[in-house]
Chain A
Amino acid sequence: MTATLYDVPGPRAKRRTLMFSLVALVIVGIVLALVVVRLAAQGQFSADKWGPLVNPAHPLFSLVWSRLGQGLINTLIAAGLTLVLALAIGTLLAVTRITSAPWYRWLVVSVIEVLRGLPVVVSIYFAARVLPELGIDLPALWYLVIGLTAYNSVVIAEIIRAGVSAIPKGQSEAAYSVGMTRGQVLRMILLPQAFRIMLPALISQLVVIVKDTSLAFIIVGYEEFVRTANQIIQAFVNQGTPNPIQVYTVVAVVFIAINYGLGKFAEFTERRLSRAKKTAAPPAAADALDPVESTQT
């Protein structure tokens, strides 16, 4: 924690901190004020631009929000489908990688590495452009879900594998010694504990999935939140009251609220898990992965 960096302040340090805090506050305030003045000078606070988004009495308010609401629902549908599929395929991949014989393990590993190294936007575009070329026509939702699943299932596979390898060896040794088969050990001993240890990381991955659904803006036909927002902006531009700043601000606030909530939930689960040490303590490998402060962007 930050407290390691400095002692409990004495009276002089307290005065100094207060003084510098005030200076910092003033500087931050001035910068913010400059931004606000600039925005105001360009008429960015006008009722024309904000009204449709924040004023229920505005004639376009209900239309705009019913579109945005539908977009948000579509975003959540895509994220939910991706999560379910990615969990199923990811678990399968992790099990395959763990149990595979060396002579074909390289194949599993290279599939995982290739899918992990590709930008998600390329995976989505691949699904949306190449599948129709091969004669596979699906609703646009599925191109998005397939592209997202391709990436997230390998990430989840790696999370689960890290979880399995973090379980103390004694667990599987004990299971083998009472006569369980390899499949039973994995299914009944290792995977349940791996899911438990890695639950915070899995929830954090959901944040990534929700954010990545916005990449549907590149494929035509699936109107999730961001694509809907773009269409609304276009409509307002045509109408002569361009409001991209206002619409994107609202979109950003909604995303931040959802993902901040998910992030807090992940932290909460992590605290709960580390408090209830029913199995082993979350071991070193799990710590190294640092589930909540995920570096997955």
Chain B
Amino acid sequence: MGVLVDQFPLFLNGFLGTVRICLFAAIGSLVFGTLIAAFRVSPLPPLRWLGSAWVTGFRNCPLAVVLFGFAFGLPEVGIGAPFEVFGIIGLTAYTSAFVCEAVRAGINSVATGQAEAARAVGLTFQQTLGNVVLPQALRSVVPPLGSVIIAMIKNSAIVGAFGVGGELFSVEGTLTAQGYPALVSLTGVALGYLVLTIPAGVLLGVVERRVAVKR
């Protein structure tokens, strides 16, 4: 297990790489997922169709296929980028579908009377959504969104499995190439992910109790 100490800089580098990928993908998928959720509840049928298609597609397709598709498909049509960028794009697209469903479930959890009251005092659709429904929905959306983000952190390992360097999962490959046993290097990698996911889960539990709405 001395390897874990000797190779600590390598693990740290990979860990920070994972954090970087996750930050980009988290911001991207939260923004994009919320937009798709707005599409899915909008009064305009074409936008609703687009939203449903997006969610059905990305929720039911394995992330590995999404990543393969982006990484090997986009260059075919002349769109080139570093592997890491394709990884982030794929992870964002995939996660946004789950974010969308979490946000939509939150909107649906707001009591009908709230939106009805808002309309009764003459608020427009945008005002109803922005000033009345979303602020309440956000509270019931926090716990499922947290689970989505934790799942996304774990899914970022798949991006690493593609051979995107400078990311936690890929550290194993680097160490194996140097002749270290997989048991040791994989334990290090596993610890790295647990350091991210377990505290995130605990934090989520705390936040969940804080924002819980009594209805």
Contact = CB atoms under 8 A, between A and B. Distances in A.
B148 interface: yes
Contact of B144 (A20, A230, A295): A295
| Most chain A CB atoms below 10 A, which of B50, B62, B68 | B62
Chain A interface helix/strand/loop/mixed: helix
Nearest to A128: B182
B88 interface: no
B164 interface: no
Given A17-B44, A119-B193, A245-B76, 4 more contacts: A119-B158, A126-B186, A214-B63, A242-B76
A297 B144 CA distance: 11
A217 interface: yes
Interface string B65-106: 110110011001110000000000000001100100110010
Contacts of A263: 59-60
Interface residues of B, number: 68
A114 B78 CA distance: 42
A9 B62 CA distance: 40
B115 A4 contact: yes
B161 interface: yes
Interface residues of A, number: 61
Contact of A215 (B69, B115, B161, B194): B161
A4 B144 contact: no
A113 interface: yes
A5 B77 contact: no
Given A117-B193, A121-B161, A129 B57 contact: no
A297 B201 CA distance: 15
B206 to A, nearest CB: 15
B135 interface: no
Contact of B98 (A5, A130, A295): A295
